[in-house]
Structure 1
């Protein structure tokens, strides 16, 4: 089993899923999860200060981690890049599995005070997909790729939740359409970049975009307030 970022949350996460369908990602479900896992409620709240919200976040991040593992095992070398992205989105939905847990989570993160966190989770999924597929972008394209895929994935999840077709064939077709839309945009961008009349205007913008860099995965070790143990050097 792939664990969450905090393995101490795993027993609670496994236990709450049986209650989410009835109570949502609520305090009632959280209390039931603590009881089912044999964990004192005070300890559970120490591990998850926001209760079920923290477990909903852990549920999503666990799925992203499982997706990264699954993509490493997939044979994607002979596939077109667009097909690789579509395959990754399908795999992520398969990993989510429990539609009711996803539905309740979508409702939770649609609330105004949880909306920013929901957006970060969707971005995290897009980031996980691009990283697993070996995205080489190191300029503004790093951001535009993830923003575009975030929109594709978010809309696909909503479609998937209402899809009752056999083996989710309607969702597969929906993914293909969304990827096709993205490819049309990329084709237009390429045509604009190749346009001799527009090149003088786009040159400064392209140089500016090249100066935009992705966030660092590991912060510099010499930042103020950061300490590295001597034996870790």
Structure 2
């Protein structure tokens, strides 16, 4: 449990999400249960339960970052570090039904942009926690690829009833193997003398792409202030 008002509201909401989803009913019940002034609660979460669901997701990201920082990953291969971070992000969430309800909420057209933003934010948090230093186009490609891996793994995890979610771990390993295979194929194509000329133009364009500098929002690709 947390002592801050926003945290208390979120903790209270989690007692009701399994029954009422991330809904206005859940928001009102959380406000009453946490004994928070409704005006203050609305100021913290202007869209009510939608913003509570976003806070719940970001709380999971923060917990994952702390766990990765506390773990010695030096003996792991890089692909295993990525798998560990994704698996950790799943394990720090104790309320799987709250995640399921969140997936349903962010599948709605009006909230789909929020959902995409959260997935991107999780991928960004994972790469940052692993010490990623890419500042070129790879900054985007890494996060886009991991967003796909993470989102598909979450969907699999929600339906996984295997012991200790072993099936989810195996699924995640397969997805990462697919990514590694794609990267190897891409590298082989780039080394092909006949194809180097084909890729020369696009690579010149992509070489000018840089990661965000002074960002307004780290979770949004392209959401930055251009350097002067």
Task: Specify if TM > 0.5.
Answer: yes
Post-superposition shift, 1:217?
4.2
Query: 1:128 maps to which residue?
Result: 125
1:75 counterpart residue number: 72
Aligned runs of 1:185-196 on 2, under 5 Å?
A: 185-196=182-193
Distance 2:2 2:89 in 1: 14
Q: 1:45-194 alignment to 2 at 5 Å?
A: 45-194=42-191
- The ranges of structure 1 where at least 4 consecutive aligned residues each deviate by more than 3 angstroms after the TM superposition are none
Q: Which runs of 5+ in 2 are unaligned?
A: 217-224
In structure 1, stretches of 5+ residues that fail to align are 224-233
Shift of 1:167: 0.3
**Equivalent pair of 1:25/1:53 in contact (CA under 8 Å):** yes
For residues 68 and 208 of structure 2, what CA distance do their matches in structure 1 show?
A: 30
Counterpart pick for 1:213 among 206, 210, 215: 210
Structure 2 length as normaliser, TM-score? 0.91
Q: How many residues align?
A: 217
SS of the residue corresponding to residue 60 of structure 1 reads helix
Q: TM-score, normalised by structure 1?
A: 0.89
Tell me how far 1:42 sits from its aligned partner. 2.4
1:17 pairs with 2:14 = yes
Give, in angstroms, the shift of residue 142 of structure 1: 0.8
Aligned-pair CA distance for 1:141: 1.0
Root-mean-square deviation (Å):
1.6
Paired with 1:84 and 1:218, the residues of 2 have a C-alpha distance of: 26
Moved more, 197-206 or 14-23: 197-206
Q: CA deviation at 1:22?
A: 0.4
Distance 2:2 2:19 in 1: 25
- Match of 2:16, SS state, is helix
Q: 1:125 & 1:190 partners in 2: Cα distance?
A: 27
- Tell me by how many angstroms 1:101 deviates: 0.2
| Native 8 Å contact 1:17 1:101 kept in 2 | yes
Q: Structure 1 pair 142/10, CA: closer, same or farther in 2 (3 Å)?
A: same
**Structure 2 Cα separation of the partners of residues 41 and 22 of structure 1:** 22
